Amino acid sequence: MIIVGCDFHPGWQQVAVLIPRQERLWNANWATATARQNGFIVLCLGRRWWAWRVAATVSGLWSCWKAGARVWIGDAAQIRASYVRKQKTDKRDAVHILKLLREGRFPRLWAPDAVVRDLRQLLIHRHKLVEIRARVKNGLQHLAMNRGMQKKSRLWSVAGQKAFGELPLDGWAACRREDLQRLRAVLDSQIGKLDEAAEKAACANEQHGC
């Protein structure tokens, strides 16, 4: 099996490759490295270290994810502590990662699978939209309070919305109310769809059930 240790950078990667009975180093981008080699590729992203199992036909980072490549996340502190030399260079990092893999000492941590990562994106997306909606609703509350209407949470009831819509506003204040109300309606619709998707995923979870 060909084993590859890779010190990852946004623009390029320092790769240490172990082919049976020989080692060599070269600089290559991710697509080039994965297209040419099989086996394990280890990446350092910030303070986390990643190990990939890549198929021979895979090329490109996203192709690896779609192909179901396994990701290994290692303890960066343990990896650094196992490095005897204090002087740190990209080539030495790549070779050191390769050495840990060869000796079976790579300090692997748990990593979520592709399904869990995708569900996390669902929750993050919903959370961001909820934050935007909260700012929109705060703006509407501000408009109402400036005109002496203090309904708090009752502003979002049918009666509160009717009273707020009948509140006399002139110029840009009226424009602001209309724009924010339309934006709130759009966000409510989008968040509602995400709520349904999150609930469906929770019900499908074997650990929690519905």
Residue 183: pLDDT above 80? yes
**pLDDT reported for residue 17:** 67
**pLDDT reported for residue 34:** 46
- DSSP result, 80-140: HHT---S---HHHHHHHHHHHHHTT---EE----HHHHHHHHHHHHHHHHHHHHHHHHHHH
Could you read off the pLDDT of 89-143 as tens digits, one per residue? Answer: 777 777 777 778 778 888 877 777 778 889 999 999 999 999 999 999 999 999 9
Provide the whole-model pTM.
Answer: 0.66
In the chain, % of residues over pLDDT 70: 62
**pLDDT reported for residue 1:** 54
Residue 68: pLDDT above 70? no
* 151 token code pair: 């309904």
How far apart (Å, rounded) are the C-alpha atoms in residues 146 and 93?
60
How far apart (Å, rounded) are the C-alpha atoms in residues 51 and 44?
9
Cβ atoms of 97 and 16 within 8 Å: the answer is yes
**pLDDT reported for residue 199:** 92
**pLDDT reported for residue 69:** 45
Hey, where are the domains in the chain? 3-109, 114-204
How far apart (Å, rounded) are the C-alpha atoms in residues 210 and 201?
9
* 157 token code pair: 């009831």
* Per-residue CA distances from 91 to 20, 23, 94, 123, 193 (Å): 20, 12, 5, 38, 48
Which stretch of DSSP H or E encloses residue 44? strand 39-45
